[in-house]
């Protein structure tokens, strides 16, 4: 009985993802199923639907439900300077290479609510590279992009951000970049001078320029193998020879069709360099 029911639920999930694609052109059909299944169950329970099919019916007929569903389907967990050793490695090993370029483009793919983006901008400012860099911050979730653009975070998170920044070898005080009040902290708008925020999908969109650095961390864990290959193919096309790709701490190119197009640059930090082909 249980097993039959589970299979029905998987059918319902596929139908819902089809519906979202045909109705709104959000394509979650090649997302990793184990996590999607869990989050759609949460959505069903918390939004008070008996079945995923009932949720699907509402999603088709009520556009107001879309942003709510996007909150469940796109994971918004990030922190500034998450994995400080990643940023330390960029500072020590990647920045010396980037210094040799007259102008730079950095792509934060799947920037969510912006914590990773601001970490990069602050790091580049500390290293004197901000002025010659354009940062592209992209995501599919308009709510997350709007939050990234506002640069407003809960004050209680700032202690962690500050500690991470320090452990990442920060040369300034994080408090130089924000002011606080009403339990919020607002990051300085000067940090956004060199930033282009844009709606971009790794699932359906194409490359939009040549980048010297692509950082896409903990985004592709939510994709299946085929979709990972598509995304990594985009990064491969965006990066010139010797361009850099940074992934999440437990993500790897090892199982990708494009593994040969990259070589380890800082192995333990999952920083790769585009090989010449």
Choice from 8, 11, 35, 142 touching other proteins (CB under 8 A): 35
Nearest CB to other proteins, comparing residues 193 and 225:
225
| Identity of the residue, 65 or 221, whose beta carbon is nearer to other proteins in the bound complex | 221
Q: Which is nearer to other proteins, 189 or 225 (CB)?
A: 225
Closest separation between CB of residue 6 and other proteins, Å?
Answer: 7
Number of residues engaging other proteins in binding (CB under 8 A): 26
Site for other proteins contains 157 (CB under 8 A) = no
By C-beta, is 38 or 189 nearer to other proteins?
38
Rounded CA-CA distance 90/107 in Å is 14
Closer to other proteins by Cβ: residue 7 or 25: 7
- Please, which of residues 212-231 interact with other proteins by CB under 8 A? 218, 220-222, 224-225, 228
Residue 131 CB, shortest distance to other proteins, in Å, is 32
C-alpha closest to that of 89 among 254, 251, 247: 247
d(CA 129, CA 191): 13
Q: Which of 14, 23, 29, 39 binds other proteins (CB under 8 A)?
A: 39
Neighbours of 171 (CB within 10 A): 11
Show the site string, 238-257: x = touches other proteins by CB under 8 A, - = not. ----------xxxxx-xx--
**Between residues 26 and 81, which has the closer beta carbon with respect to other proteins?**
81
List the strands of the sheet with 213-215, edge to edge. 195-199, 133-139, 104-109, 213-215, 244-246, 271-274, 262-266
**Nearest 10 degrees: CA dihedral of 162, 167, 168, 174?**
20
Question: d(Cα 198, Cα 140) in Å, to the nearest integer?
Answer: 9
> What is the chain's alpha carbon radius of gyration, rounded to the nearest angstrom?
20
29 contributes a contact to other proteins by CB under 8 A: no
Q: Is 1 exposed, middle or buried (0-12, 13-18, 19+ CB in 10 A)?
A: exposed
Distance CA 65, CA 19 (A): 13
x-or-dash pattern for other proteins, window 59-88, by CB under 8 A? ----------------x-x-----------
> CB of 251: closest distance to other proteins in angstroms?
5
For residue 138, list its beta bridge partners.
109, 198
Partner residues linked to 262 by β-bridges: 274
Footprint of other proteins (CB under 8 A): 2-3, 6, 32-35, 37-39, 75, 77, 218, 220-222, 224-225, 228, 248-252, 254-255
């Amino acid at each position: 009985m249980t097993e039959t029911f589970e299979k029905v639920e998987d059918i319902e999930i596929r139908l819902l993802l089809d519906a979202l694609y045909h109705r709104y052109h959000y394509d979650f059909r090649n997302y990793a199923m184990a996590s999607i299944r869990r989050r759609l169950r949460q959505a069903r329970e918390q939004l008070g639907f008996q079945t995923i099919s009932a949720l699907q019916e509402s999603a088709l007929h009520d556009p107001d439900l879309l942003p709510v569903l996007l909150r469940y389907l796109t994971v918004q967990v990030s922190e500034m300077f998450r994995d400080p050793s990643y940023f330390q490695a960029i500072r020590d090993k990647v920045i010396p290479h980037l210094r040799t370029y007259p102008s730079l483009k950095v792509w934060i793919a799947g920037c969510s609510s912006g914590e990773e983006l601001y970490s990069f901008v602050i790091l580049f400012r500390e290293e004197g590279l901000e002025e010659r860099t354009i940062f592209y911050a992209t995501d599919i979730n308009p709510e997350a992009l709007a939050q990234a653009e506002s640069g407003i975070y809960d004050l209680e998170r700032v202690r962690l951000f500050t500690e991470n920044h320090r452990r990442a070898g920060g040369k300034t005080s994080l408090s130089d970049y924000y002011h606080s009040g009403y339990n919020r902290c607002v990051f300085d708008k000067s940090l956004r001078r060199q930033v282009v925020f844009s709606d971009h999908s790794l699932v359906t969109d194409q490359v939009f320029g040549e980048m010297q650095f692509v950082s896409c961390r903990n985004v592709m864990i939510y994709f299946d193998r085929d979709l990972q290959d598509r995304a990594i193919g985009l990064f491969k096309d965006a990066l010139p020879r010797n361009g850099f790709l940074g992934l999440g701490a437990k993500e790897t190119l090892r199982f990708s069709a494009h593994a040969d197009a990259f070589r380890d640059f800082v192995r333990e930090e999952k920083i790769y360099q585009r090989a010449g082909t």
